[in-house]
């Protein structure tokens, strides 16, 4: 599967779009905005560049995509498209537009995207927990998944599943750091926001639990004859929530960056409009997974039913015990 072509957030501005279901991601970005802007100011004072090269590395669509870039050029109004972005830039105090040049660069950030030493600042929010591919170690010599009944690391997964995901994360994060170090000037900074986990156990009441719920909902779809069991048994997501120690160790091992700051963010539950928390979670997961689910299972899968079941299961689990997804903030400086 070519993830660069298949995997994307749900586009548009409809009810199931990522634009309408990414408030948690926006809240995390807002929570660290002061750190991001302080980092830009410090960087500018240290390097004093004639121009400032900035890259936002992500895989989403909607108003979150350029909101931080607007903050960096001292504008606060949210934007949903490039024409809006240019138009708002002209609304500065003197009616003049700053010299801002924008380009979109397609491709995977697990590899080179830009020329050497052309960037001063890199920002990436809720992207690095997505691996470059489904770990090859999840499949046996016959191409069959060893993670039967699970779409990611779960309580029923054998240890080799966790090892396969860990191996892929190591490979990917090393390549990401190496590629960015070649594109950043010395002293350049990166602010990264990513999902993670607290301890060394891969299965917890955090991010991994949402994948367990998806596995259970897909199993219901199998029992109802909507999708084939064989299809479910070979559906695996390319997601890995790293621990603090794993991230620190990989940054140290790669050697191109100093980890200046690392914080765990506590993001409170949000309820949008008349929807409950469980519905909001289900819609968020749908906006993230819809492209992959349709590609793998085909148009026959009923996503409305699937994610209605998902919301009900979240409600049931929340009644028993809280689900606490973990988010990390990383601030790195190129050595």
- State the DSSP H helix or E strand holding residue 284, giving kind and residue range, or none if neither: helix 277-297
Contact 55, 123 (CB under 8 A): yes
> What is the reported pLDDT for 272?
54
Q: Collect the ranges in the chain with pLDDT lower than 70.
A: 1, 59, 61-62, 65, 74-98, 268-275
What is the reported pLDDT for 17?
83
Spatial separation of the C-alpha atoms in residues 147 and 25, rounded to whole Å: 29
Q: How many domains does one find in the chain? A: 1
Amino acid 322: pLDDT = 79
φ, ψ of residue 99 in degrees (nearest 5): -80, 85
User: What pLDDT sits at residue 283?
Assistant: 93
Q: Which domain holds residue 319?
A: 3-334
Q: What's the pTM?
A: 0.88
Report whether 279 contacts 312 (CB < 8 A): no
Structure tokens at 109: 């950030």
**CATH number (domain holding residue 66):** 3.40.50.150
pLDDT (0 to 100) of residue 75: 36
User: What does the pLDDT read at residue 77?
Assistant: 36
Tens digit of pLDDT for each residue in 225-248?
Answer: 999 999 999 999 999 999 999 999
pLDDT at 332: 98
């Amino acid at each position: 599967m070519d993830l660069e072509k298949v995997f994307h957030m749900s586009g548009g501005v409809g009810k199931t779009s990522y634009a309408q279901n990414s408030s948690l991601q926006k809240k995390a970005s807002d929570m660290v905005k002061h750190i991001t802007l302080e980092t830009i100011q410090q960087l500018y004072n240290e390097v004093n560049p004639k121009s400032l090269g900035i890259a936002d590395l992500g895989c989403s669509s909607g108003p979150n995509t350029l909101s931080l870039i607007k903050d960096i050029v001292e504008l606060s109004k949210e934007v949903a498209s490039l024409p809006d972005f240019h138009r708002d830039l002209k609304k500065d105090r003197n009616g003049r537009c700053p010299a801002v040049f924008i380009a979109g660069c397609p491709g995977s950030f697990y590899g080179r995207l830009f020329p050497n030493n052309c960037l001063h600042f890199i920002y990436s929010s809720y992207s690095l927990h997505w691996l470059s591919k489904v770990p090859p170690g999840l499949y046996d010599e016959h191409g069959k998944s060893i993670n039967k009944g699970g779409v990611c690391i779960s309580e029923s997964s054998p240890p080799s599943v966790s090892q396969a995901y860990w191996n892929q994360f190591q490979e990917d994060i090393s390549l990401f750091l190496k590629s960015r170090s070649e594109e950043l000037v010395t002293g350049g900074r990166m602010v990264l926001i990513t999902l993670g986990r607290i301890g060394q156990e891969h299965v917890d009441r955090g991010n991994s639990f949402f994948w367990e719920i998806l596995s259970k909902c897909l199993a219901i779809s199998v029992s109802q004859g909507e999708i084939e069991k064989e299809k479910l048994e070979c559906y695996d997501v390319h997601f890995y929530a790293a621990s603090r120690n794993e991230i620190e160790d990989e940054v140290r091992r790669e050697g191109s960056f100093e980890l200046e700051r690392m914080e765990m963010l506590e993001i409170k539950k949000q309820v949008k409009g008349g929807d409950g928390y469980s519905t909001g979670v289900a819609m968020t997961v749908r906006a993230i997974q819809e492209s992959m689910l349709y590609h793998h299972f085909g148009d026959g899968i009923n996503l409305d039913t699937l994610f209605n079941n998902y919301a009900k299961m979240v409600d049931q689990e929340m009644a028993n015990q809280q689900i606490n997804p973990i988010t990390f903030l990383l601030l790195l400086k190129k050595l």
